[in-house]
Amino acid sequence: MKFSEIGEFGFIDSIKGWCDIPAKGVIKGIGDDCAVLRATPGRELLFTTDMLVQDIHFMIDRIPFYHLGRKAIAVNLSDIAAMGGRPLIALISLAIPAETEVEEIHELYRGMRDICEHYNLTIGGGDTVASLDKLVINVSVIGDAKKSEVLYRSGSGPGDRIYLTGPVGDSAAGLKILTAEIAPPEGMGDYFIKTHNDPVPLVEIGEIIAASGIASAMIDLSDGLLSDLGHICEESKAGALLLAEKIPISPELTLLAGSAGFDALELALSGGEDYQLLFTAPMEHEQGIDKLFKEHDLHPPYHIGEIGQGPGIRMKRADGSLGELQARGFNHFNRNQRRDYG
């Protein structure tokens, strides 16, 4: 059945029964004029939104609808994680071409529902409209966090160490494989494509970092390590020194770079869509950070540099040489760039 046959309200009826996920603080989810939340005393509300446009953010023939649904939610959850919060409710608006098969959008919602269930996040409604020829997905997530634990980008100071929760560059490699920019060795492509198509938002880790009181600032890596570190530097009115040999690069990316002939470090610095958490903390918390992660059975974060007086971002290479770096990242209005969520 196509959307031109079922219509907006028929579609809402078809998903209402299995998208109303019980969640803490949610009084009313999907099915009324508004979703209704109960504010929790002592906690601040967090709001985030992301829009995905076909042929700009994703190619519809390169990603299953199920993974597209998961990713549409995941990128918003990553923003909540970056503030140290917990997600509460998602609002989903779609612009759908009339000839789209209903089952395809059901698959999209199945992906959304499954990731929402995992993070105790309810789907609280949204809007569904017709589109001339492109699928457009807009997701907004509301979360909250303890007032004393909300982490901003602006808290870093000179001498703070810069930490990263995991390797970077794998998602950008997945995009290059999907667009046939590089050809992976046999058996390696699936790893990178999955990393790109189905990212894991680090909500629990974000809450652990925020609750510890150790971090001074935090951000999730969506547009690239340099670009997102640049946001912390700008908001904190500081600069940064990165240590090239400390940037975490997966063995898979090292192998792929050697095979395909590209610079793995370059991709790790500017690739984007890694959704790792980058945070800063005063130097005296170094041992406390390692202890914190071990207590929660997590891999210790990677110390990749330090916040300086600024301005700008520099990088120290293994041979001791220093160089200025440009905070490169994805620019939606640069025609030479295209972000592809699949």
Structural domain boundaries in the chain:
3-149, 161-325
Q: Band of the pLDDT at 338, cuts 50, 70, 90?
A: very low
Point out the least confidently predicted range of 19-33, 43-57, 61-75, 213-227: 19-33
C-alpha to C-alpha distance for 69 and 115, rounded to whole angstroms: 9
Q: Is the pLDDT of residue 14 over 50?
A: yes
Architecture of the domain made up of 3-149:
2-Layer Sandwich (3.30)
At 334 the pLDDT is 58
Q: Band of the pLDDT at 78, cuts 50, 70, 90?
A: very high
The dihedrals phi and psi of 134, each to the nearest 5 degrees, come to -120, 145
Mean pLDDT of 291-316: 95
Bridge partners for 322 per DSSP: 316
pLDDT tens by residue, 249-262: 999 999 999 999 99
Q: Band of the pLDDT at 244, cuts 50, 70, 90?
A: very high
Architecture of the domain made up of 161-325:
Alpha-Beta Complex (3.90)
Average pLDDT, the chain: 91
pLDDT tens by residue, 182-197: 999 988 999 999 999 9
The dihedrals phi and psi of 100, each to the nearest 5 degrees, come to -65, 140
Mean pLDDT of 203-223: 97
Q: Kindly report the pTM of this predicted structure.
A: 0.90
Side-chain-side CA neighbours of residue 226 (13 Å): 21
Q: Choose between 301 and 325: higher pLDDT.
A: 301
Q: Is the pLDDT of residue 20 over 90?
A: no
How far is C-alpha 90 from the geometric centre of its chain's CA atoms? 15
Radius of gyration of the chain (CA): 21
Q: Exposed/middle/buried for 271, CB within 10 Å: 0-12, 13-18, 19+?
A: buried
How far is C-alpha 148 from the geometric centre of its chain's CA atoms? 24
Q: At what angle do helices 102-118 and 65-82 cross, to 10 degrees?
A: 30
